[in-house]
Amino acid sequence: MSENKNIDFMDEIVNKEGMSRRDALKLMGISPIAAAAIAGTGSSTFTEAKASDAQGKIVIVGAGAGGIMAMARLRSALSNPDITIIAPNEKHLYQPGQVFMAAGEYVAEDIIKDNKDFIPDDVKWIKDEVKTFDPDNNKVILRSGEEVSYDYLVVATGLQYHYDWIDGLTEDMIGKDGISSVYLNNPEKGTVEGGSITWDWFNELREAAKTGKPKVIYTQPATPIKCGGAPQKILYLSDDYLKEAGLTAEMTFATSGGKLFGAVPAVDKMLTEHVQPRYGNITNKFGHNLVAIDAANKVATFEHKYTVKGEYDEDIEEYVMIDKVDRVEMPYDFIHIVPPMAGVDSIANSPLAWAQGSAKGWLEVDKETLQHRRYANVFGIGDICGVPKGKTGGSARHHAPIMVANLLAQMEGKKPKEAFDGYTVCPLKTQYGKIILAEFNYKGAAPSFPLAVEEPRWIWWAFDLYMLKPMYWHLMMKGLM
Where on the chain is the footprint of ligand FAD (CB under 6 A)? 61-67, 86-89, 95-96, 98-99, 129-130, 156-158, 182-183, 187-188, 226-227, 230, 344, 346, 382-384, 391-394, 396, 425, 427
C-alpha of 245 from chain center: 30
The answer to whether 227 is a known catalytic residue is: yes
Three-state secondary-structure class, residue 85 = strand
DSSP assignment of 326-349: EEEEEE-SEEE-PPPEEE-HHHHT
Q: Please give the Cα distance from 181 to 218 (Å, whole number).
A: 9
How distant, in Å, are the alpha carbons of 318, 330, 454, 467 from that of 307? 15, 21, 30, 45
The answer to whether 426 is a known catalytic residue is: yes
Q: Residue 208 or residue 420: which is nearer to ligand FAD going by CB?
A: 420
- Torsion over CA: 59, 62, 66, 67 (sign): positive
Query: CB of 94: closest distance to ligand FAD in angstroms?
Result: 8
Q: Please give the Cα distance from 182 to 196 (Å, whole number).
A: 8
Report the residue count for the chain. 481
Q: Beta strands 434-441 and 444-445: pairing type?
A: antiparallel
Residue nearest to ligand FAD (CB): 64
Q: Please give the Cα distance from 248 to 434 (Å, whole number).
A: 20
Beta bridge partners of 304: 288, 326
- Number of other CB atoms surrounding residue 75 within 10 Å: 21
Three-state secondary-structure class, residue 106 = coil
Q: Residue 60 or residue 405: which is nearer to ligand FAD going by CB?
A: 60
How distant, in Å, are the alpha carbons of 276, 387, 444, 449 from that of 262? 16, 17, 10, 21
Residues 6+ apart with CB under 8 A from 302: 254, 285, 288, 289, 290, 291, 327, 328, 329, 330
- Active-site positions read 227, 426
